[in-house]
Amino acid sequence: KQEVTQIPAALSVPEGENLVLNCSFTDSAIYNLQWFRQDPGKGLTSLLLIQSSQREQTSGRLNASLDKSSGRSTLYIAASQPGDSATYLCATQGGSEKLVFGKGTKLTVNP
């Protein structure tokens, strides 16, 4: 059974700092990995999708990498802003077609 772990559980940084969020998974037989953002009391917003054949994806200040063989993905946020404060979730999708989520990293960017 796939297990997804996100470290750290919470992170507080000053505005402008570059940061890395980590996601690890136990079963490397995934089709893709997706990063989401969740604001308090809201639904999930898709940030980046990395297919199993890809190594990384970029969108604006966000860059996600995937190392399937080692069961790891990272989300890099450049020049963080207070508006980036949210919980970031990663989820894997395998043959069962179900998304398996980590518990998330709660990010606070201080002005």
Binding positions for another protein, rule: CB under 8 A: 31-32, 34, 36, 41-46, 49, 51-52, 89, 91, 93, 97-99, 101-104
77: three-class secondary structure by DSSP: strand
**Smallest distance from another protein to CB 88, Å:** 13
Q: Where are the beta strands (DSSP E) in 1-111?
A: 4-7, 10-14, 19-25, 30-38, 44-51, 56-59, 62-67, 72-77, 86-94, 99-101, 105-110
**Closest CB to another protein among 17 and 22?**
22
**Smallest distance from another protein to CB 77, Å:** 19
**Closest CB to another protein among 32 and 74?**
32
Structure tokens at 84: 């980036």
**Closest CB to another protein among 40 and 111?**
40
H helix runs in the chain, sequence order: none
